[in-house]
Structure 1
Amino acid sequence: MHEMSIALAVIGQVEEAAEQAGDITAVRSVRIQVGELAGVVPDALSFCFELACAGTVLEGAELVTDSVPGRARCAPCAHEWAVGMPPRLSCPRCGGATTDLLSGRELQIVSVRWEDGPTHALTREPIPEER
């Protein structure tokens, strides 16, 4: 289950940001973007996140997941469409197979809310994937 490695990567990045911010005693919530083509099961990620937060500054934090739909653009005719699941990567207008994936593979932390504090946007770096 690669959702556990993703949860651990999120926790690691948030702990690092909390340490750099200084004097952070608890994290209330973490908001992430997950593209529908990222191969991540949001419920499994939430479960793993809750387990992995135990004993950390994130213990009890809520994981808020924003789903990002997959969208593609046909290079020859510039038509854009929702890719859907299973993904349709050939152009529905002209049948072209030369497409650019515009969205749907995102996996990144958007913001973190500290205990009794404001929401902080983190740099929008992708969450490292397991290799």
Structure 2
Amino acid sequence: MHEMSLTEGVVRILEEQAATHGFAKVKTVWLEIGELSQVDPESMLFCFDAIARGSQVAAEAKLEIVTIPGQAYCLDCAKTVTLPRRGEACPICGGWGLQVTGGGDMRIKELEVE
């Protein structure tokens, strides 16, 4: 499960930001996860609870997942389309020449700290 190592990275970023910006605790983390990122939001929630417990900064933090829709540009019909998952044809023309333009990332969007 690669979500465990991703979650460890998120907690490490929280600890680094706390040291850099001088806050003691993270209350809430808003994490954007793109539909095309191949990251399972439910697994991230589970892993975050387990990993954050070992962190002084994030031990009591709540993780909020914000889902970002997948988008791609179709080279065949020259349209930007919404894609629920990778490997699908263009929903407009049925073409396979798709270039992902959004929803393939995961990032920390916002923090509530004290």
TM-score (norm 2): 0.88
**Are 2:82 and 1:82 equivalent residues in the alignment?**
yes
Q: Does 1:11 align with 2:27?
A: no
| Corresponding residue for residue 59 of structure 2 | 59
After TM superposition, give the deviation of residue 86 of structure 1 in Å.
6.3
Alignment partner, residue 36 of structure 1: 35
Give the number of the structure with larger relative contact order, counting CA–CA contacts within 8 Å between residues 6 or more apart. 2
The alpha-carbon deviation at position 37 of structure 1 amounts to: 1.4
Cα distance in 2, alignment partners of residues 27 and 48 from structure 1: 17
Residues 43 and 91 from structure 1, CA distance in 2 versus in 1: closer, same or farther, beyond 3 angstroms?
closer
Deviation at residue 85 of structure 1 after TM alignment:
3.8
Deviating beyond 6 angstroms after TM superposition, the runs of 4 or more aligned structure 1 residues are none
User: What's the counterpart of residue 101 of structure 1?
Assistant: 100
* Aligned-partner Cα distance in 1 for 2:45–2:52: 11
Q: Deviations over 1:38-80 (max 9, x none)?
A: 1111111111101111131101101111101111111243122
Structure 2: runs of 5 or more not aligned: none
**Identity of matched residues, %:** 34
Residue-by-residue CA offset, 1:8-47 (whole Å, 9 max, x unaligned)? 000001110110012x221101111101111111111111
Decide whether the 8 Å contact of 2:36 with 2:86 is kept in 1. Answer: no
Amino acid aligned to 1:41: D
Q: Give the structure with the larger helix fraction.
A: 2
| TM-score normalised by the chain length of structure 1 | 0.78
Where does residue 70 of structure 2 map in the other structure? 70
TM-aligned CA distance change 1:97 to 1:55, over 3 Å: closer
Distance in 2, Cα, partners of 1:103 & 1:86: 12
Q: Distance in 2 between matches of 1:86 and 1:18?
A: 36
Please, which moves more after superposition, 77-86 or 104-113?
Answer: 77-86
Q: Cα distance, 1:87 vs. partner?
A: 4.3
Q: Give, as a single letter, the amino acid of the residue that structure 2 aligns with 1:45.
A: M
How many pairs align?
113
